[in-house]
A and B are shown apart, each in its own frame.
Chain A
């Protein structure tokens, strides 16, 4: 069925002067879709043309409708020579194709030119007439979007398309840069349109109507071509009926935002049960490195290496649990790109599974047959699948894929969290009895921690204990995951960002030799990253990681590894043991002294951190016999026997987890260095919290203030002959300094939390390291704290801290001690605020001397001035999937934009920093304008996926490619909602949140 697209060009403003003689411009507009082009009349001699054109009508096939962008080109008419292009606007009309999304795109859009950047704006009204048949909605959000209900979660969809890159060696080619950049931009637009269409077809075949957690990536493979690939989770979604109305907070549909806001809230009625585990093992634990770790609980690191180099390294293959013949396993890939789930969906978590593979790129000969790339990914996914099986899991959640390319070498990575899911949202019929059983058992807040694997057949050595919440099922001592903290999870204290950073040198090499060298280095890298993560986690007195993201980047002479995650103390898991250092040569007295000093430092740090993060788990576990959940033992037995485990279960030593289980052995300088690095980690300034997950575990009192920032830094390593330690130190300092800078810049906004704080590293050239971060800042009120202060005043007289013995271990936060922390924290804050104020007063005084300005002046005008005439709507952008204090009432469609910017006057544009700063600001502006044109007021799940920066200072040139994506939405402030329609339901939810929030 052919679709009809109508477009109308209304006006432009602030156009640049194109005719020097008259200081004016004779502008007209070309509107192009597919092969059809329309032109407006020339609007002579004006910088603010009013074209007010007729409706241009395009009749096109569905396929084109989905693939093609609408191209609008603004030109300056020239009678004698060729018309000069002023700039272009590409409009992805995809959002118009869905009935529930936007219906019209209309507004001021920045006109963009790949050489001159953003300058003026054109007003454009575009309307689609006929509904296309394709109704698949795309969401970047990695959870069920607010205001939708999941009817069915169908599973994994993936697709990739390849093409020749029209311009890979941009700097050396002879061509007009504009033409080449535009060809490339358009190609990528087309490719991502095609990709989306193909995925849409797959979703329809599966019977779904939406893709959630849509992740699209570009691989700029250089000579060998351009790959655009995407993965996502197919779902059948249903819009939650009428906006604010009664169905707003359905108990088990979308992970509604109140759940999010207070992770401790409401145990889901369908909790779960059973077992769970820890990260694990891997080939690499055998490698003896600088220091060894006696506890083998390491993150699972599947070291795939297929292709031209390396060989299989999976020692876990054999471990399959025979009874888990769930429907999921019959699927090709039981993968889910979701990181947050409807209540009751996620039953158990096994641990992180990951696989990497090193490949040599070769030219893509036939773009229509992308089999090679497909086969590569297939290999990796198979590996992930088998790793998950080894952990006794039938599914992988929080799944993502990435690549790192250097010349002809490409590292493909995939990672996720092995898990067992409920069959509630699966269409493929009932799961087996075992899983049903799971579902019947209610175990709020700890079920997902219970091990899914057979404890007698643990795929790695781990220490299991009975769950500290329900006391009936086994839990591992440490849990690593790539997902967000489940909303129902019980957490003690607050979380924090934990990063492991590593840099390893590598010899320059070519072809297969290079690939082999890289695959040989990878296991070491992963192993050390995991060791660092584990050490840092223990140092903070925590026992679980969420949102774990490990990034490995390859360069010509080095490999970079960066792992980020949010550490928390899960109430269900045992308290982590301390870190114990032992030396190799105990005879030497000074050495002993040194060791014991270090040990003392470590112990002090742990104590300090526990205080800082308010980790005061209930002490005496043994005494809690009458645990709050009267769990029939038979049931667990039933399960156990089924899984062929024996009665030994009950004989396990409960105190096991408390031993100082973690021993660091110092046997050479490396280890000493490492421990030093561990201890010198910069501590976060008062008033700040940071995490890389959507929300900060343990904090509920968000305000609606939200801001998003992007930071990019590139460093040059000047001295080529650096040792591994030297490199490590440099890399670690880079990251620390970047964090310090962030805290400093945002200091006026405390108290606040930096959420979704994610780092991306790359090695754009030899000796260059690029670190990119984007984050969102959420302000925290201290109302909650004030409340706690009062509370504290009441309780302190009777019983200061120290949780009473009988306290319910399931209640995650120790009330009184929390209040106490709050008060001390507030004092600190006040102190801080004081110094800050003092500082700024000084500054302003000094500046006053230079140019005295009456204080009252600026203040007075603020009140009497109003900018009601401002025509620019505010558009919020955030990497989060929600907006605190607001309700998303409509999703308008996916934003997926790709821009190239080039300059041949780098110095004049403020050097590389000036150039990139402008470009990023321009990209933000274009995203905001498009969202506003769709009728939206925010972008959620925003991310900058790609930021490839190349420069050639000698030629005064630079080029940058940026890819951004997100979901355009309309949100309404909760306060406004309440004004318009008072809903008893939401009101009660809110109050109950407040109660639990403390």
Chain B
């Protein structure tokens, strides 16, 4: 005897979140049944393997039918085929577009929309995660063609939560800017580290950050700003200004940080590292190397000098604020805009 046909349909669509996750993770039905059994599903309601299999099949089929809708989440709310309460719709969409951060870390900086399917397969085998990459690629494709604020675009079109939308924005932003993230020295940084930095860059350095004109994709950095950054060079090139800056910082930090003497000794190098990074950002090549430069030129030396994060925070705080009292320095606005982002990025990236 065999079951030829087996369906279970509710007026309100029945969804099991655990099974949904198994489906999202790309398990086959028999795999999913095994996992559920191991999780003790058989102890509930005197179920047997047959019941579990039938339930899993039903659920997987339901998800498959929903997938078409999930690909354009804005339609989910006004489709008629499935009656799903709003909070369940949210759950479906959110989970559908959720991604694994290990995967995302690998993907960063790659041109996703240009069909790097092979790359994704490589990543898949590398991270050991069964991918349903198409759904994410889909997001990138749609978003890249849209105008206006990135995060809001993603939220509007895919109805994702703030957090998830920001993560997507980060990937799109990285892909668009082609930041170098794959170097060995950057391997210690997690996706969340980069996502945070991306958020900072998007919020303060892009076109969309200053004016709300929705002319173009707002993930491009503001050219004018990058150009203006060259003016910061004066901080290290003008000897007087450098000395004044140094004495101001030292006055603030004396006795407050353990690495004071090292700091005092290398102040010029410290400052030069940060200012040089700023002045080179107009060159595409250097811009792409932003993170590697931050690590090589600033973070690693501090780490080998055994700066604590607290010391670093204090230093950066006074290093950037002291500039305000330099009367000869005329680029306060640019400086704040630059240092605000760099400071938070460095602090986020400063770990083992």
Across the interface, which residues of B come within 8 angstroms of A924, CB to CB? 9, 11, 83
* Residue-wise interface mask of B (29-62) relative to A, using a CB-CB cutoff of 8 A (1 in contact, 0 not): 0000001101111011111101110110110011
B24 at the interface (CB under 8 A from A): yes
* Residue-wise interface mask of A (917-940) relative to B, using a CB-CB cutoff of 8 A (1 in contact, 0 not): 110111011001100000000000
Interface segment, A507-515, A627-635, A738-746?
A738-746
Contact A910 B64 (CB under 8 A): yes
Contact A740 B129 (CB under 8 A): no
CB interface residues, A 717-752, toward B, < 8 Å: 717-718, 730, 737, 740-745, 747-748
Interface segment, B108-116, B161-169, B271-279?
B161-169
Across the interface, which residues of B come within 8 angstroms of A747, CB to CB? 44-45
Interface segment, A206-214, A280-288, A477-485, A864-872?
A864-872
Across the interface, which residues of A come within 8 angstroms of B87, CB to CB? 862
Contact A708 B7 (CB under 8 A): no
Q: What's the nearest-Cβ distance from chain B to residue A337, in Å?
A: 25
Across the interface, which residues of B come within 8 angstroms of A711, CB to CB? 7-9
Interface segment, B93-101, B220-228, B320-328?
B93-101
CB interface residues, B 67-117, toward A, < 8 Å: 75, 77-83, 85-87, 89-91, 94-95, 98-101
Contact A861 B163 (CB under 8 A): yes
Interface segment, A306-314, A327-335, A613-621, A844-852?
A844-852
Interface segment, B14-22, B230-238, B247-255, B299-307?
B14-22
* Identity of the chain B residue whose Cβ is nearest the Cβ of A872 in the assembled complex: B78
Contact A768 B21 (CB under 8 A): no
Contact A929 B80 (CB under 8 A): yes
Across the interface, which residues of B come within 8 angstroms of A712, CB to CB? 5-7
Interface centre among B4, B18, B40, B129 (most CB of A within 10 A): B4
B152 at the interface (CB under 8 A from A): no
Q: How far is the CA of A864 from the CA of B41 in the complex (A)?
A: 33
Q: How far is the CA of A854 from the CA of B65 in the complex (A)?
A: 27
Across the interface, which residues of B come within 8 angstroms of A832, CB to CB? 44
Q: What's the nearest-Cβ distance from chain A to residue B67, in Å?
A: 12
CB interface residues, A 895-935, toward B, < 8 Å: 910, 912-914, 916-918, 920-922, 924-925, 928-929
Contact B35 A744 (CB under 8 A): no
Interface centre among B1, B39, B85 (most CB of A within 10 A): B1
Q: What's the nearest-Cβ distance from chain A to residue B70, in Å?
A: 15
Interface centre among B9, B57, B58 (most CB of A within 10 A): B9
Q: Is the interface of B mostly helix, strand, loop or mixed?
A: helix
Across the interface, which residues of B come within 8 angstroms of A730, CB to CB? 1
Contact B35 A843 (CB under 8 A): yes
* Identity of the chain B residue whose Cβ is nearest the Cβ of A712 in the assembled complex: B7
Across the interface, which residues of B come within 8 angstroms of A912, CB to CB? 4-5
Contact A867 B94 (CB under 8 A): no
B3 at the interface (CB under 8 A from A): yes
Contact B39 A741 (CB under 8 A): no
Q: How far is the CA of A13 from the CA of B75 in the complex (A)?
A: 10
Contact B22 A839 (CB under 8 A): no
Across the interface, which residues of B come within 8 angstroms of A980, CB to CB? none
* Identity of the chain A residue whose Cβ is nearest the Cβ of B48 in the assembled complex: A740
Number of interchain pairs (Cβ within 8 Å): 218
Contact B94 A858 (CB under 8 A): yes
A857 at the interface (CB under 8 A from B): yes
* Identity of the chain A residue whose Cβ is nearest the Cβ of B165 in the assembled complex: A861
Contact A741 B8 (CB under 8 A): yes
A14 at the interface (CB under 8 A from B): yes
* Identity of the chain B residue whose Cβ is nearest the Cβ of A867 in the assembled complex: B86
Contact A740 B45 (CB under 8 A): yes
Interface residue count for B (Cβ, 8 Å)? 70
Contact A921 B82 (CB under 8 A): yes
Across the interface, which residues of B come within 8 angstroms of A846, CB to CB? 35, 38-39
Q: What's the nearest-Cβ distance from chain B to residue A908, in Å?
A: 12
Q: What's the nearest-Cβ distance from chain A to residue B206, in Å?
A: 24
Contact B43 A872 (CB under 8 A): no
Contact B11 A121 (CB under 8 A): no
Contact A682 B5 (CB under 8 A): no
Contact A744 B1 (CB under 8 A): no
Interface segment, A126-134, A241-249, A667-675, A873-881?
A873-881
B125 at the interface (CB under 8 A from A): no
CB interface residues, A 160-216, toward B, < 8 Å: none
Contact B98 A851 (CB under 8 A): yes
Across the interface, which residues of A come within 8 angstroms of B65, CB to CB? 914, 917-918, 921
B2 at the interface (CB under 8 A from A): yes
Q: Which of A108, A118, A716 contacts B4 (CB 8 A)?
A: A716
Q: How far is the CA of A839 from the CA of B22 in the complex (A)?
A: 15
Q: What's the nearest-Cβ distance from chain A to residue B19, in Å?
A: 8
Q: What's the nearest-Cβ distance from chain A to residue B99, in Å?
A: 8
Across the interface, which residues of B come within 8 angstroms of A743, CB to CB? 45-46
Contact B8 A121 (CB under 8 A): no
Q: How far is the CA of A914 from the CA of B57 in the complex (A)?
A: 10
Contact A922 B8 (CB under 8 A): no
CB interface residues, A 813-862, toward B, < 8 Å: 832, 835-836, 838-840, 842-844, 846-847, 850-854, 857-858, 860-862
B286 at the interface (CB under 8 A from A): no
Q: How far is the CA of A740 from the CA of B36 in the complex (A)?
A: 17
Across the interface, which residues of A come within 8 angstroms of B187, CB to CB? none
Across the interface, which residues of B come within 8 angstroms of A108, CB to CB? 78, 80
Known: A710-B9, A916-B7, A925-B80. A716 touches B61 (CB 8 A): no
Contact A835 B61 (CB under 8 A): no
* Identity of the chain B residue whose Cβ is nearest the Cβ of A730 in the assembled complex: B1
Q: How far is the CA of A876 from the CA of B58 in the complex (A)?
A: 22
Q: How far is the CA of A709 from the CA of B16 in the complex (A)?
A: 15
Contact A847 B83 (CB under 8 A): no
Q: What's the nearest-Cβ distance from chain B to residue A721, in Å?
A: 13
Contact A861 B94 (CB under 8 A): yes
Contact A853 B98 (CB under 8 A): yes
Across the interface, which residues of A come within 8 angstroms of B75, CB to CB? 14
Across the interface, which residues of A come within 8 angstroms of B40, CB to CB? 835, 838-839, 842
Contact B51 A118 (CB under 8 A): no
Q: What's the nearest-Cβ distance from chain B to residue A937, in Å?
A: 12
Contact A875 B100 (CB under 8 A): no
Q: How far is the CA of A398 from the CA of B130 in the complex (A)?
A: 57
Q: How far is the CA of A435 from the CA of B65 in the complex (A)?
A: 60
B25 at the interface (CB under 8 A from A): yes
Q: What's the nearest-Cβ distance from chain B to residue A727, in Å?
A: 10
Known: A842-B40, A843-B39. A852 touches B45 (CB 8 A): no
Q: How far is the CA of A709 from the CA of B35 in the complex (A)?
A: 26
Q: What's the nearest-Cβ distance from chain A to residue B195, in Å?
A: 13
A713 at the interface (CB under 8 A from B): yes
* Identity of the chain A residue whose Cβ is nearest the Cβ of B2 in the assembled complex: A716
Across the interface, which residues of B come within 8 angstroms of A715, CB to CB? 1-4
Q: How far is the CA of A606 from the CA of B209 in the complex (A)?
A: 76
Across the interface, which residues of B come within 8 angstroms of A770, CB to CB? 5
Q: How far is the CA of A876 from the CA of B81 in the complex (A)?
A: 14
Q: How far is the CA of A839 from the CA of B16 in the complex (A)?
A: 13
Contact A709 B6 (CB under 8 A): no
Binding site for B on A (CB under 8 A): 13-14, 108, 110, 118, 121, 682, 685, 707-718, 730, 737, 740-745, 747-748, 768, 770, 832, 835-836, 838-840, 842-844, 846-847, 850-854, 857-858, 860-862, 864-867, 869-872, 874-877, 910, 912-914, 916-918, 920-922, 924-925, 928-929, 949
Question: What are 10 residue pairs bridging A and B, where the CB atoms are less than 8 Å apart in the complex?
Answer: A110-B80, A707-B10, A709-B8, A709-B9, A714-B4, A844-B17, A844-B18, A851-B100, A854-B163, A870-B86
Binding site for A on B (CB under 8 A): 1-14, 16-18, 21-22, 24-25, 35-36, 38-41, 43-48, 50-52, 54-55, 57-58, 61-62, 64-65, 75, 77-83, 85-87, 89-91, 94-95, 98-101, 129, 159, 161-164
Given A110-B80, A843-B41, A864-B162, 20 new contacts (CB under 8 A): A707-B11, A712-B7, A714-B4, A740-B51, A743-B45, A832-B44, A835-B43, A839-B43, A847-B21, A851-B98, A854-B163, A861-B161, A862-B91, A870-B78, A872-B78, A872-B79, A913-B5, A917-B61, A920-B7, A921-B13
In the complex, the 5 A-B pairs of residues with the closest C-beta atoms, listed nearest first? A861-B161, A714-B5, A867-B86, A843-B39, A842-B39
